[in-house]
Structure 1
Amino acid sequence: MKLSRNTLSVALLAALIAPAAHAEVALDVIGGSEVSFEGLVQADFYNFDTDTIDYGADSATDLDGEDYVQELRRAELVLKGKGPGNFEWVLGYDAKDDKWLDVNAKYKFGNNANHFIQVGQFKQPGATMEELSSTKNNDFISKSSITNTLGTPRRLGVQYNYGDVNWGVTGSFFGRELTRNREHGSGYALRGYWAPINDAGNIFHIGASFLDKDTDGDAIRLRARPMADIVPTRFVDTGSSRTSASSLSNRTDRASSLGVEGLWVKGPFKLQGEYMKTDVQRTEGLADFDGDGYYVSGLWNITGETWGYKAGVPTTGLPDDPAKGMWQLGLRYDAIDLTDGIVVGGEMDSVTAGVNWYWRSNFKFMLNYVIVNQEKGALEDNPNALEARLQFYW
């Protein structure tokens, strides 16, 4: 799993010498479509104060005794097109994870950016508000446990959205993920949101979502990393056994999730929280499984900037003073419970404290300290981690 020093050095050097431009790079006008190019490169470093598990291992079976791991987290390359007319399209690929990102076409009705139909692969409306927000503006290095564990990622499908600047309703039907050997199982998703207060530096938003899908192959596995995205080992895990009734990878039919979300912005302060509950229907007389989780986070822009609002998610702007950059302090509490009845997946709660520095138009530096508590039956594992991220985007 570890990235070689030479590879990491080349990636960071390329970020540092690249030309600075916040907006995407305009390429050409082809067939009436204004084509542009975007990119996002993230390099992570984690150092663990581990309890019982070797989280610095190259894989869950190849233990090396190290207490740190470093690796490129993302290397996203995205082509976008506007036009002809009210059409828009996007073609995205993550070279690090070797998978397709957004690959879709959208038609906007009239001049309303919140009234459209979309076909292709896109983030499902049944995902969390955090997942629907831009990855480059994550508040913390690891997204919440409900986003990573209970949310449904990008899928191929069709979506219809109707709304205005402060409200919207979305529905989608979806199938598998475009990249082969990834997520499968067809289903549908719904989301609605409303911002009764939506002014500059003063936002209040509430929303709810529902998703229902086939578990595909009569199996589903739910597991959570210890708030560290690139480690291979998960202590909290509902199991991979295809024979044991205590494993969700055996005799399941459908899975659904219900989510609620809230957001409040007041000047340089942002408070955000989400709750998600999942229900897995099981066959052959086995009791259904219920799991849930939530997070609450607070951010303070100590340099005074505020947030915007678009399509039901917060947006992060540029620093007021590019030379000094925008500084943020953040705190998050996160919890997830994957134990129900005979399925003992475990429980995890964590506290993350972080500082972010957006420098000029293209760079972001993140530093987090995470305290994690995990229980699974009579077992415990309580690692702490110091996490850092260097990001370049254009």
Structure 2
Amino acid sequence: MKLTPSTLSLALLAALAAPAAHAEIAIDVIGNSEVSFEGLVQADFYSFDTDLNDYGADSAPPCSTSTDCDGKDYLQELRRAELVLKGKGPGNIEWVLGYDAKDDKFLDANIKYKFGNNANHFIQVGQYKQPGATMEELSSTKNNDFVSKSSITNSLGTARRLGVQYNYGDVNWGLTASYFGRELTRNREHGSGYGLRGYWAPVNDAGSIFHIGASYTSKDTDADGIRLRARPMADMVSLRYIDTGSSLTSANSLNNRTDRVSLFGAEALWVTGPFKLQAEYMNIDVDRYGNLKNFSGDGYYVSGLWNITGETWGYKSGTPVTNLPEEPGIGLWQLGLRYDTIDLNDGNIAPPLTPTGAPIVNGVLGGKMDSWTLGVNWYWRSNFKFMLNYVAVKQEKYNNAVGFRRDVHDDPNIIEARAQFYW
């Protein structure tokens, strides 16, 4: 769904007319439920120092002879336009209905019942973020530390699905179990399964947090196939050089069909005053039919943030919470650095059977990507955020078209910027 400039302008004007506060906008009390409205609008800009591939290319008509109609080495587009209704009550019931008008999909759409006054003890039915997602994904999108989420979050984790979830815990720990099916939006992710997550914060004081956690997900593959791929740390790019392609789908061969996927995740968080160190690891195992070797891939990231203006972080439901600026006029300034890696190689190359034949690939060689991201964030007042990132990406993938045992490298550098308004 494409938003016209006039539609977006009206939406922004309506939001700007609301009181300038970080909290949601109260609407009314309907059926003993306190209804409120939230929103998030993000606009991104990427500039590419292209290496092998043209990541600024587009394929929109009327250009029919080239994939790069505009010839530009940059992309600019609305990234998100999220509109969310929330309700509290009657009693211990809470509900949410969210929709992303940019991506034309439902977000959280569920109803929750809390047991007593414990916000960490509840049962939830509908669409929600799965416990098998990363801690980064479970955190609020508006407070992401970098323009692009990590490669394991975007490529391996299981995000929103329809299901039922039970959570039991307290302010310092929690255990979550979820059974899920397809995504609510038509023609999106499918494959039923279950997810588990547990976390513990033995240190949870103002300005001092230490958290560890782990998750496990097991799910069916969609139509007996799965395709794993990773963008070069730029969310709006359509080309993904790191890609298992048809190697794990029946499109390549019925013998390549996949049965089930299991994912294991580990997470850690440390906060001391204005500094935050965060790391996550994820491994994926794909069970395949027949005698073919199962596939295994993994990835991780390590990031550090410094709140230059001195603010610290909060902690809620096993995730960090970014606080409001202590001086709204100056805002909250952050400096961040992240190392990220993903490896979708699980195989080897054998010599060709004949002198003129092609090398033989045993297993799956989807490629490997490493990246460094340096970022500056500015939270201004209660509703605005501006981000600027420099990303250095190194990718390598085997290509049998260029000879035996040769990896082809593609190493773009990217400048990324984001303007964000939320209420």
Task: Give the TM-score, by structure 1 length.
Answer: 0.95
State the Cα deviation string for residues 161-200 of structure 1 (Å, max 9, x = none). Answer: 0000000000000000000100000000000000000000
Comparing 157-166 and 65-74, the one that deviates more: 65-74
Q: Which residue of 2 aligns with 1:244?
A: 252
Is residue 340 of structure 2 the alignment partner of residue 334 of structure 1? Answer: yes
Comparing 134-143 and 59-68, the one that deviates more: 59-68
| In structure 2, C-alpha distance between the alignment counterparts of 1:298 and 1:14, rounded to whole Å | 36
Residue 216 of structure 1 and its aligned partner are, at CA, apart by: 2.3
Is residue 397 of structure 2 the alignment partner of residue 391 of structure 1? Answer: no
SS at structure 1 position matched to 2:142 = helix
Change over 3 Å in CA distance of 1:224–1:59 after alignment to 2: farther
Q: Does the 8 Å CA contact 1:3/1:71 hold for their aligned counterparts?
A: no
Match of 1:63 among 40, 62, 68: 68
Amino acid at match of 1:74: R
Residue 366 of structure 1 and its aligned partner are, at CA, apart by: 0.2
Q: Which residue of 2 aligns with 1:132?
A: 138
| In structure 2, C-alpha distance between the alignment counterparts of 1:16 and 1:389, rounded to whole Å | 19
Q: Which residue of 2 aligns with 1:105?
A: 111
Is residue 394 of structure 2 the alignment partner of residue 365 of structure 1? Answer: no
Q: Does the 8 Å CA contact 2:207/2:313 hold for their aligned counterparts?
A: yes
| In structure 2, C-alpha distance between the alignment counterparts of 1:9 and 1:183, rounded to whole Å | 28
Change over 3 Å in CA distance of 1:3–1:67 after alignment to 2: farther
State the Cα deviation string for residues 110-150 of structure 1 (Å, max 9, x = none). Answer: 01000000000000001000000000000000000000000
Larger CA Rg, structure 1 vs 2 = 2
Q: Which residue of 2 aligns with 1:349?
A: 370
| In structure 1, C-alpha distance between the alignment counterparts of 2:59 and 2:169, rounded to whole Å | 45
Q: Does the 8 Å CA contact 1:59/1:232 hold for their aligned counterparts?
A: no
Residue 242 of structure 1 and its aligned partner are, at CA, apart by: 3.5
Change over 3 Å in CA distance of 1:289–1:11 after alignment to 2: farther
Is residue 41 of structure 2 the alignment partner of residue 41 of structure 1? Answer: yes
Q: Does the 8 Å CA contact 1:3/1:70 hold for their aligned counterparts?
A: no
SS at structure 1 position matched to 2:367 = strand
Q: Does the 8 Å CA contact 1:27/1:35 hold for their aligned counterparts?
A: yes
- Sequence identity of aligned pairs in percent? 75
| In structure 2, C-alpha distance between the alignment counterparts of 1:208 and 1:159, rounded to whole Å | 17
Amino acid at match of 2:281: Y
Comparing 74-83 and 13-22, the one that deviates more: 13-22
| In structure 2, C-alpha distance between the alignment counterparts of 1:16 and 1:328, rounded to whole Å | 26
Unpaired segments ≥5 residues, structure 2: 61-65, 348-362, 399-406
Change over 3 Å in CA distance of 1:374–1:3 after alignment to 2: farther
| In structure 2, C-alpha distance between the alignment counterparts of 1:153 and 1:26, rounded to whole Å | 28
Change over 3 Å in CA distance of 1:18–1:300 after alignment to 2: farther
Q: Does the 8 Å CA contact 2:256/2:292 hold for their aligned counterparts?
A: no
Q: Does the 8 Å CA contact 2:2/2:102 hold for their aligned counterparts?
A: no
Task: Give the TM-score, by structure 2 length.
Answer: 0.89
Q: Does the 8 Å CA contact 2:224/2:250 hold for their aligned counterparts?
A: no
| In structure 2, C-alpha distance between the alignment counterparts of 1:46 and 1:8, rounded to whole Å | 24
State the Cα deviation string for residues 69-101 of structure 1 (Å, max 9, x = none). Answer: 000000000000000000000000000000000
CA-atom RMSD in angstroms: 2.1
| In structure 1, C-alpha distance between the alignment counterparts of 2:144 and 2:105, rounded to whole Å | 20
Amino acid at match of 1:57: A
| In structure 2, C-alpha distance between the alignment counterparts of 1:189 and 1:207, rounded to whole Å | 14
Change over 3 Å in CA distance of 1:117–1:40 after alignment to 2: same
Amino acid at match of 1:73: R
Q: Does the 8 Å CA contact 1:54/1:66 hold for their aligned counterparts?
A: no
SS at structure 2 position matched to 1:85 = coil
Unpaired segments ≥5 residues, structure 1: none
